[in-house]
Amino acid sequence: MWPRIFTAFLSFVSGSCFGLKVTVPSHTVHAIRGQALYLPVHYGFHTVASDIQIIWLFERPHTMPKYLLSSVNKSVVPDLEYQHKFTMMPPNASLLINPLQFDDEGNYIVKVNIQGNGTLSSSQKIQVTVDDPVTKPVVQNHPSSGAVEYVGNMTLTCQVEGGTRLVFQWLKNGKPVHTSSTYSFSPQNNTLHIAPVTKEDIGNYSCLVKNPVSEMESDIITPTIYYGPYGLRVNSDKGLKVGEVFTVDLGEAILFDCSADSYPPNIYSWIQNTENATYVIKHGPLLEVASDKVAQKTTDFVCCAYNNVTGRQDETRFTVVITSIGLEKLAQNAKSLSPLAIITGISLFLIISMLLLFIWKKYQPYKVIRQKLEGRPETEYRKAQTFSGHEDALDDFGIYEFVAFPDASGVSRMPSRSVPTSDGVSGQDYHSTIYEVIQHIPAQHQDHPE
């Protein structure tokens, strides 16, 4: 009976026949062991139906399909062997499997028959896989103490306690690691071999484990790789560097810094070369040289960097030249600025002189003063007041003009220069004398009462 039913299913692979259509959301379902699995099925038809029959079958590879349960209209007829495991609520054709076990993995076939004017049949197949979810993997590093560059090898192993159908992938700094001249993997890909290790292998490694129902990534591990020294160089906080020569001003102290890329950090030594001997003057990355305490104007130094784990050593040589280059630069700057200062001063002097000459020519202040002095009427002189000079001596200094007019008494006066008469005093002759009062501060004497 069942072989004929199965053969009939194969004739309806398309899932539809003469107006009856059976559909499923997915033909492959990944499920987790121990949980319930619901297989949704939808069908539709465009004819009058007197009876609707739904049949579920289960098959494994290389075996015949097994009957699970069926229904006609709303009546369900289960296989007694599976009556507590499989559930269906007709006319809904969906199937519930609870609980799901590893032996429930396989192909589930659903067939729908519609009885009306004739019989319509259609079917679908769903493949179900059953897995355990992945637990968090753990990465172990060997040797845990680290490896020396170009000498040692390293092995990373990814271990997972739970999960089925596991797929391993190695990540370095978040990107997949591929096979190369130094990288190789075990058959299951759960072990990464690095041989030999180099500085470029330093990074954050992690193991990503997947299966159809889950994925988990391990914590990051950073293997210890000893390398160096690389890129040894000497820098200074002052002075001028040209190649391997540092030029320092006389009387100036300069601080040298020796550095190189290395792990673990290097051990630094400073060596001074003289005409007669070579000796270590200091240990450590910093060296201070006081130019006024150096016996020679040109001194050779060597910085040595040593890695006590890799056993490698590197050194760099440089020369310190003591010179008064700073003072010479200042003198050169002063000489270069002197012609400019001279030109600027001459230009300012010429501009100011031309400005004063222009004002003198345009306004002629000496003529204005003369016109004012010669054009005043006699009445102004007669109204002039006499000041003592003892009232406020600080305001009395300046140029004074004394004018003498003829009076009725006929007292004789001191002759002086003649001044032309103005319109107001025509016909009269008067004399004037100009005095300049100069400020003089006499020595103070103590007054004694009489």
For residue 4, give the 3-state DSSP assignment.
helix
Q: What is the pLDDT of residues 54-63, one digit of tens each?
A: 999 999 998 9
Confidence of residue 296 (pLDDT cuts 50, 70, 90): low
Mean pLDDT confidence for 383-411:
52
- 91 upstream amide cis, omega within 30 of 0: yes
Note the pLDDT of residue 332: 52
From CA 336, how far away is CA 358, in angstroms rounded? 35
Average pLDDT over residues 389-404: 55
Confidence of residue 2 (pLDDT cuts 50, 70, 90): very low
pTM, full prediction: 0.63
Which pLDDT score, from 0 to 100, does residue 428 have?
46
Give me the CATH topology for the region 138-223: Immunoglobulin-like (2.60.40)
Q: What is the mean pLDDT of residues 339-357?
A: 84
For residues 44 and 382, the model is more confident at: 44
Distance CA 186, CA 409 (A): 147
What gap in Å lies between CA 207 and CA 218, rounded to an integer? 5
Specify the pLDDT at position 164. Answer: 96
366 vs 155 pLDDT, higher one: 155
The more confidently predicted of residues 360 and 338 is 360
Q: What region, left, alpha or beta, does residue 34 occupy, with left being phi > 0 and alpha being psi -120 to 50 degrees?
A: left
Distance, CA of 168 to CA of 158 (rounded, Å): 8
Confidence of residue 19 (pLDDT cuts 50, 70, 90): confident
Ranges 67-81, 306-320, 351-365: which has the least confidence: 351-365
pLDDT of 399 > 50? The answer is yes
**CA angle 137–141–146, rounded 5-degree value:** 155
Same topology, domains 2-131 and 138-223? Answer is yes
Domain map (residue ranges) of the chain: 2-131, 138-223, 231-323, 384-437
Instruction: Say if residue 376's pLDDT is above 60.
Output: no
Predicted local confidence at residue 15, as pLDDT: 46
Residues listed for the chain: 450
**Helix/strand/coil for 49:** coil
Residue 140 contacts residue 156 (beta carbons within 8 Å) = yes
pLDDT of residue 330: 42
The residue that leads in pLDDT, 275 or 239, is 275
The mean of the pLDDT values for the chain is: 81
Average pLDDT in the 436-450 region?
A: 50
What pLDDT does residue 380 have?
54
**What is the pLDDT confidence band of residue 420, given thresholds at 50, 70 and 90?**
very low
The answer, yes or no, to whether residue 310 has pLDDT greater than 90, is: yes
CA–CA dist 265, 287 (Å, integer): 17
Q: What is the mean pLDDT of residues 186-215?
A: 97
* Spatial separation of the C-alpha atoms in residues 87 and 96, rounded to whole Å: 5
Comparing 157-161, 322-326, 433-437, the range with the smallest average pLDDT is: 433-437
Q: What is the pLDDT of residue 190?
A: 97
Query: How far is it, in rounded angstroms, from Cα 67 to Cα 83?
Result: 11
Taking residues 29-40, what's their average pLDDT? 97
pLDDT at residue 297 above 80?
A: no
pLDDT at 440: 53
Percent of the chain with pLDDT over 70: 71
CATH code for 231-323?
2.60.40.10
Give the 3-state secondary structure of the chain.
CHHHHHHHHHCCCCCEECCEEEECCCCEEEEECCCCEEECCEEECCCCCCEEEEEEEEECCCCCCEEEEEEECCEEEECCCCCCCEECCCCCCCEEECCCCHHHCEEEEEEEEEECCCEEEEEEEEEEEEECCCCCCEEEEECCCCEECCCCCEEEEEECCCCCCCEEEEEECCEECCCCCCEEECCCCCEEEECCCCHHHCCCEEEEEEECCEEEECCCECCCEEEEEEEEEEEECCCEEECCEEEEECCCEEEEEEEEEEECCCEEEEEEECCCCEEEEEECCEEEEEHHHCCCCEEEEEEEEECCCCCCEEEEEEEEEEECHHHHHHHHHHHHHHHHHHHHHHHHHHHHHHHHHHHHHHHCHHHHHHHHHHCCCHHHHHCCCCCCCCCCHHHCCEEEEEEECCCCCCCCCCCCEECCCCHHHCCCCCEEEEEEECCCCCCCCCCCCC
Phi, psi of 197 (to 5 degrees): -80, 150
* Res 109: pLDDT: 97
Query: What pLDDT, in 10s, does the model give residues 84-134?
Result: 999 999 999 999 999 999 999 999 999 999 998 889 999 999 999 999 999
CATH number for region 2-131: 2.60.40.10
Identify which has the larger pLDDT, 446 or 318: 318
In the predicted model, what is the mean pLDDT of residues 23-35? 96
- 32-36, 42-46, 194-198, 412-416: least confident range: 412-416
